[in-house]
Structure 1
Amino acid sequence: MVQSVVTMLDERENVSPHDELEELTGMRTGSASPPENSVLGRLLPDFHRADAEGVEEKSDEMAGLNSALRSLNEPQIIEAKRGVASVLLETLPPEGGKVSLSPEQADAWVTAVNDARLALGTMLEISDETPEEIDPNDPRAPQLGVYHWLTWMQDSLVTAVMGD
């Protein structure tokens, strides 16, 4: 799952438009448009969302602001997500077993597990209304168990990092 997230992020980065200004300034830029893929949209959300009332005249201004912020920040966000995923994959024992992490590695695991959980939750269309268990014949049933395990893992990591 973590490697799948990295692959999606790599693909997003690879389709970003080439920016000649980047060559002159050294300042990396990414795509100004939000991802069309719902999983990537969850991993790389807009920086500002319209409020519940959704003032119409501000929507163009908000879209422009989101585009500018996305273009300037998305490469670093992708790099950071790729970095924490790399830490998780490098510290995961190939044959399973006990895992011992430094505080920095544990922080990376929290973030990487969160990204995997968000990705899977989006694919499964998890919402507040999703029951803990679903019909075993539902095609999402096997993956829902993985989602719950990732939730437990994330909670356990956060508890360990916080020292409780």
Structure 2
Amino acid sequence: MQGWTRKNGHVVAELSQQEAAVIRGLVGQIKDMLTARAAEAPQDELAELTGIRTGPTAPPEDRVLARLLPDFYRHDPTTGETDEEQAGAAGAMRSLHEPGLLEAKTGVAELVLETCPPAGGRVRLTGDQADSWLAALNDVRLALGTALDVEEDMPEDLPEDDLRREHLGVYQWLTWVQDSLVNALIG
């Protein structure tokens, strides 16, 4: 991949078969995780009557999924203090808003899977499609960064015996792909 460019109102890139496979594979995994979480939503008769969807009140136990679906209130990990005003409000907020968040995240993942050619080749995106790609790439990077314990002060090149070494290269490449897409959109 040479990077994203702007041509005739579209954002364009050429992906090799391997690059397309990496993007499709990782985005597909994120979509599967989010779809499984959506299936955990409680069946609520009142919600079915009113059309108001509800989701789980507890955050995901999986730390990668928890990173993609964070709490709606901030918690200080050191002191345990929160900006939550009433006990249980975090669960109520999650129940109300997580279904929409899941729908948005799976929607952008589906768009990437639809527009990324399985065998590689040209990707030609409208501005809205490019925004969806940015959101999906961000989700993949958040998930991969969480799984790899990526930190700000982490060296760019890990020792040969570090099992995260190969995956860190994928994380760094996705960072470059996302940055190239942002630059094409604003340039």
Alignment match of 1:114 (pick from 120, 135, 138): 138
Alignment match of 1:24 (pick from 49, 52, 55): 49
Q: Tell me the CA shift for residue 3 of structure 1.
A: 0.5
2:64–2:147 CA contact under 8 A, matched in 1: yes
Q: Tell me the CA shift for residue 64 of structure 1.
A: 1.9
| Counterpart code for 1:35 | P
1:117–1:150 CA contact under 8 A, matched in 2: yes
Deviations along 1:128-154, one digit per CA (max 9) or x if unpaired, are 122111012211111000000111111
Q: Tell me the CA shift for residue 120 of structure 1.
A: 0.6
Alignment match of 2:152 (pick from 124, 128, 133): 128
Deviations along 1:33-86, one digit per CA (max 9) or x if unpaired, are 111100111100011213477475x67746522211110011111011011011
Deviations along 1:93-121, one digit per CA (max 9) or x if unpaired, are 12112211111110000000000111111
In structure 1, what is the equivalent of residue 123 of structure 2?
99
| Counterpart code for 1:32 | T
- CA distance in 2 between counterparts of 1:59 and 1:106 reads 34
Q: Tell me the CA shift for residue 122 of structure 1.
A: 0.7
Alignment match of 2:98 (pick from 56, 59, 74): 74
| Counterpart code for 1:13 | A
- CA distance in 2 between counterparts of 1:88 and 1:48 reads 30
Unmatched 5+ stretches in structure 2:
1-25
In structure 1, what is the equivalent of residue 8 of structure 2?
none
- CA distance in 1 between counterparts of 2:83 and 2:59 reads 15
| 1:45 paired to 2:79 | no
Query: Which structure features the higher share of strand residues?
Result: 2
Within a 5 Å distance, the mapping from 1:7-22 to structure 2 comes to: 7-22=32-47
- CA distance in 1 between counterparts of 2:154 and 2:171 reads 12
Q: Secondary structure at the match of 2:56?
A: coil
Give TM-score scaled by structure 2 length: 0.80
- CA distance in 1 between counterparts of 2:140 and 2:115 reads 16
Distance 1:60 1:160, change over 3 A: closer
Alignment match of 1:83 (pick from 89, 107, 122): 107
Q: How many residues align?
A: 162
1:50–1:62 CA contact under 8 A, matched in 2: no
- CA distance in 2 between counterparts of 1:88 and 1:60 reads 35
Q: Tell me the CA shift for residue 16 of structure 1.
A: 2.0
1:48–1:62 CA contact under 8 A, matched in 2: no
Q: Tell me the CA shift for residue 9 of structure 1.
A: 0.5
